[in-house]
Structure 1
Amino acid sequence: MFKLAHISDIHLGPLPSLSLRELASKRITGFINWHRNRRSHMVGDTLNTLMDAIDRIDPDHLAITGDMVNLASSREIETVTAWLQDAGEPSNISVIPGNHDAYVPGAYEKTTKAWYPYMRGEDAPAEWDEDFHCYPYMRVRGNVAIIGCSTALATPPFAASGYFGRRQARETVNLLRAAGEAGLFRVVMIHHPPIRGATPTHKRMIGIRRFGATISAGGAELVLHGHTHLNTVYSLRGQKMPVPVVGIASASQGLGGSKPPAGFNLFSISGSPGNWKLLRERFELNEIGQGVHLAETTRFLA
């Protein structure tokens, strides 16, 4: 049995001091939003509490579906790099970027370079290369193929949309088919939910139909996403049966906010091609915020 933990939208805080030059961009809107809305609910020991619980469970792998930072400043990127190194070895953690990781022009390249060991596919160059398309990437762990896609791109102020394009769709289909032919359980990671109506228009994923066609053409057993800061379960049309599409609350969301408290999904994967079994256990911050409890159990594919 393979155990896969899933967290998302870390938004590692608090915000560092920013120069006027750094704020003279879209960052000013995010800076104001942080201080007005997020600062009171996304600081403290919430993330540490979650990671301690995950460490005790000791899953085989950890999937993180984007939004590691808030404004993608250089100091934030450095802080997340240190956090990842403390969280575990790159071979045990797979990361994809979110819209906040590409908050302003140039940020996407900086975050990908800094976190490349955690985003590096098995056929990718050993060192980051700006001319190499990191996404999609595939990592094989046991009988599981983890395929990381990216919808991250810099957007104008008051927009947080993502994009899934033709090149990435074509390459993702190829990876999914290869993994299926190898008899692997296929997990696809993407930041924006690939479901119509799951987010407001200004936060939507452009290319939803293309992504759905990618999943049905290539085949998959599970899709993981973040972005909404909500605990959700949707589905997409698969080759033989619906493919679960699962979201999770922000890993830094404390108690008392408008969004659900921080949590993580734990997936137990067993069986074999044509007879896969998938159990999802969702853990969330307990009512006093000093630990987690099992909030929901769902069986898929059985």
Structure 2
Amino acid sequence: MSIFRLAHLSDPHLPPPQGAFGWRDLLSKRLLSRIAWRRKHREHRPEVLAAIVADLKAHAPDHVAITGDLTNYAAPAEYEAARVWLEALAPARDVTVSPGNHDALVETKGGRPFAPWTPWLGDEGLGEGGDVAFPQVRVRDGVALFNLCSAVPTAPHLATGRLGKAQLERLDALLADPAYRDLFRVLLIHHPPVPGAVAKRKALEDQDALRALLARHGADLVLHGHAHEAMVATAPGPDGAMIPVLGVPSASAMGERGHPAARWHGVEIDRQADGGVEVRVVARGLDPKTGRPAELSRYVLLQAGRPPAGHA
């Protein structure tokens, strides 16, 4: 059997291009984000992100999952800059983007904020009316990627996420679909579906509904960002099974002021001849001694379809 290598990075917070913030934004939530960026730009460095991306490319993964926050203000110029960055990363069919809260900071004109990223959201393209329907499913070499969108505009000082009834109903049907039953099912989402993973003002509002779906239908792995931390947790699946939930720090973080330094995860999905599966994680990121990307750790996340002891 083959090994599918999935690279996971998140929260790159690409530098806003010149002119991304305009006078009209003085009366919107973008003003708060602009003020915050004056502090954050010292932490989120383009040279760090470039080093992480170069390291990722050198390992030639089969697919790249990016779990949100490519932008800071959700400005049109940022969507376009992110599109250019994605084009340089890899062919669109080999990269899947799950939008984050910064990517939906405010309501956008026309109501189609992620249209420039359509090729990286899934294989379905734009639906009826020009909207992107989430979740989208991409099947790659025995792996089904369920791409969710928890990004919604929120009030000032909030960074919560929400899937919403329509998306949850669609996910319910997709997870129950026999077409995906024998595939390795990975959910991509920005906000962690784990209680207490982030503060309430940053949490996924309908995480209980999502966890109920997972408990009913199951999945094999959930990847998220948002917390800017390396996190390993679990969510209950059917019949007492536990589903690994894995988070990764920001891909552009210097690692100062108590924040973890930039990192990406190589997730090796090894489907074995006896029908079992082993999932290994290789964490690569900035070495605190050299400041260059290096292997930080490696561990087995799933063994014969179950999380090994010590990784709950």
Shorter-chain TM band? over 0.9
| Aligned position for 1:170 | 169
| Aligned position for 1:115 | 117
- Please point out which of 80, 85, 98 is paired with 2:87: 85
- In the alignment, the residues of structure 1 paired with residue 177 and residue 131 of structure 2 have an alpha-carbon distance, to the nearest angstrom, of 21
CA contact (8 A) 1:116 1:128 kept: no
| Aligned position for 1:284 | 285
Deviation at 1:24, TM superposition (A): 2.2
| Aligned position for 2:33 | 30
Deviation at 1:137, TM superposition (A): 0.6
CA contact (8 A) 1:177 1:219 kept: no
CA RMSD, Structure 1 to Structure 2 (Å): 1.9
- In the alignment, the residues of structure 2 paired with residue 3 and residue 280 of structure 1 have an alpha-carbon distance, to the nearest angstrom, of 10
- In the alignment, the residues of structure 1 paired with residue 12 and residue 58 of structure 2 have an alpha-carbon distance, to the nearest angstrom, of 19
Q: Structure 1 segments of 4 or more deviating over 6 A?
A: none
SS at match of 1:174: helix
Describe how 1:6-17 pairs up with structure 2 within 5 A: 6-14=8-16, 16-17=18-19
Counterpart residue type for residue 8 of structure 1: S
SS at match of 1:210: helix
How many residue pairs end up in the alignment? 298
Report whether the alignment pairs 1:239 with 2:238: yes
| Aligned position for 2:294 | 293
Counterpart residue type for residue 224 of structure 2: H
| Aligned position for 2:310 | none
Please list every run of 5 or more consecutive structure 2 residues that lacks an aligned counterpart in the other structure.
304-312
- In the alignment, the residues of structure 1 paired with residue 137 and residue 178 of structure 2 have an alpha-carbon distance, to the nearest angstrom, of 9
| Aligned position for 2:201 | 202
SS at match of 2:255: coil
Distance 1:227 1:130, change over 3 A: farther
| Aligned position for 1:55 | 57
| Aligned position for 1:68 | 70
SS at match of 1:162: coil
Distance 1:9 1:289, change over 3 A: farther
- In the alignment, the residues of structure 2 paired with residue 73 and residue 218 of structure 1 have an alpha-carbon distance, to the nearest angstrom, of 37
| Aligned position for 1:106 | 108
Distance 1:108 1:174, change over 3 A: farther
- In the alignment, the residues of structure 1 paired with residue 300 and residue 230 of structure 2 have an alpha-carbon distance, to the nearest angstrom, of 16
* Deviation larger for 109-118 or 49-58: 109-118
* Deviation larger for 18-27 or 63-72: 18-27
Deviations 1:123-144 (A, max 9, x none): x2x4465454520110000010
SS at match of 2:113: helix
Deviation at 1:276, TM superposition (A): 1.5
Please list every run of 5 or more consecutive structure 1 residues that lacks an aligned counterpart in the other structure.
none
- In the alignment, the residues of structure 1 paired with residue 150 and residue 284 of structure 2 have an alpha-carbon distance, to the nearest angstrom, of 26
- In the alignment, the residues of structure 2 paired with residue 109 and residue 288 of structure 1 have an alpha-carbon distance, to the nearest angstrom, of 46
- In the alignment, the residues of structure 1 paired with residue 5 and residue 95 of structure 2 have an alpha-carbon distance, to the nearest angstrom, of 13
Distance 1:215 1:292, change over 3 A: same
CA contact (8 A) 1:180 1:186 kept: no
CA contact (8 A) 1:193 1:226 kept: yes
Deviation at 1:217, TM superposition (A): 1.7
Distance 1:179 1:85, change over 3 A: farther
